[in-house]
Amino acid sequence: MKREIKFRAYSSHNHKMYPVSNIEWDIDGHIWVTADDGKNGIELIDEEAHLMQYTGLHDKNGREIYEGDVVKNEYGKVMEVQYDPRSAAFGVGDYYFGTIGSGKTLEVIGNIFENPELLEAQHE
């Protein structure tokens, strides 16, 4: 079984989401991210680059689901996709992806950086 491992990064400086082509750590522990801007590529460092890992799953419309995505389930509940290091699994709310039908009932409606209001509206 082949598992696709990839990342995307949100640049807090450019306020844009980019696919990631390379991640490196320097001797001081700083993270350097090379992102694809459609031209020559750009480099992002540390707090400027918010990394999000691909879960390996697609939503009901075929869109890739990433950590940090905001999804809506079949009942209209809006949740954030998060990684739980204790279980080594991605999930939403109290459910891990293995127990919710591999994302087939979820719909990606945004992400926590570009659409934070989607989660704020759910908590009001």
Say yes or no: domain 54-123 is CATH 2.30.30.290: yes
For residue 48, pLDDT over 60 is answered with yes
pLDDT of residue 54: 95
Whole-number Cα distances in Å, 112 to 7, 15, 28, 62, 78 = 15, 12, 29, 20, 12
How would residue 122 be classed by pLDDT, with cut points 50, 70 and 90?
low
How would residue 6 be classed by pLDDT, with cut points 50, 70 and 90?
very high
For residue 51, pLDDT over 80 is answered with yes
Phi, psi of 27 (to 5 degrees): -60, -25
More confident residue, 88 or 95: 88
pLDDT of residue 96: 77
pLDDT of residue 25: 92
3-state secondary structure of 20: strand
Q: Output the average pLDDT for the chain.
A: 88
For residue 98, pLDDT over 80 is answered with no
**What is the largest distance, in Å, between two alpha-carbon atoms of the chain?**
48
- Which of 95, 102, 63, 89 lies closest to 77, judged by CA? 95
